[in-house]
Chains A and B, each alone.
Chain A
Amino acid sequence: DIQMTQSPSVLSASVGDRVTLNCKASQNINKYLNWYQQKLGEAPKLLIYNTNNLQTGIPSRFSGSGSGTDFTLTISSLQPEDFATYFCFQHNSWNTFGAGTKLELK
């Protein structure tokens, strides 16, 4: 099974900051990596699919990059509504989620 490791587990930041969240796969997953945002009491929402494709309706301050085993989600300028938990998800071989990064207000 492919394991997905997200870092950091908690990230403290301020409005306006540029932040980078990391996701590492235990083996090559090509480009098949999605990012989701989850707010308290809500279902996860797809932000980025297949590494760097922005889902319809998602603000352009969100971007994704990477390949193979190492991937990043970048938020260029944090907005108040961005404080949430972010999960990565690989769908190259079966389907596996990371444990999440909680983005909290500093």
Chain B
Amino acid sequence: EVQLVETGGGLVQPGKSLKLTCATSGFTFSNAWMHWVRQSPEKQLEWVAQIKAKSNNYATYYAESVKGRFTISRDDSKSSVYLQMNSLKEEDTAIYYCTWGNSYWGQGVMVTVSS
């Protein structure tokens, strides 16, 4: 059974940092292209970042709204993908989902950026 479990969310002040972790199982993670997608309190979905597999040189891509502030990475030995979020803004407040190829999704983790 495919499983993706996100952790690391919480309440953080503007300008601070937070790191999300997505632990996976049930598929060959090392071959998988992984994504982070977020959903705002208004329920709008926004693709955030992607990381490809080793065979694609771990290429990464970002939405313009997070480029330069967020970093996606992976550890194939742990079947995990990460999202390092720096210089957080109030508009980054959302539920963050980890997805495998946009087909399978985790349950999401809430990130609230507020003073």
Contact = CB atoms under 8 A, between A and B. Distances in A.
A46 B47 contact: no
Interface string B64-102: 000000000000000000000000000000000100001
A89 interface: yes
Contacts of B61: 94
Interface string B24-51: 0000000000010000000111110010
B43 A43 contact: no
Interface stretch (A22-30, A63-71, A74-82, A95-103): A95-103
A43 B102 contact: no
A41 to B, nearest CB: 9
Contact of A85 (B43, B97, B106): B43
Contact of A46 (B46, B50, B103): B103
A42 B44 CA distance: 14
Contact residues on B (Cβ < 8 Å of other chain), bracket: 10 to 19
A46 B108 contact: no
Contact of A43 (B44, B50, B63, B108): B108
Contacts of A89: 45, 102
Given A43-B97, A43-B108, A95 B44 contact: no
A91 B45 CA distance: 14
B97 A49 contact: no
A34 interface: yes
Given A95-B47, A97-B45, A34 B105 contact: no
Interface of A: 34, 42-46, 49, 55, 85, 87, 89, 91, 94-97, 99-100
21 contacts: A43-B97, A43-B105, A43-B106, A43-B107, A44-B97, A44-B105, A45-B105, A46-B102, A46-B103, A46-B104, A46-B105, A85-B43, A89-B102, A94-B61, A94-B63, A95-B35, A95-B50, A95-B102, A97-B44, A97-B46, A100-B43
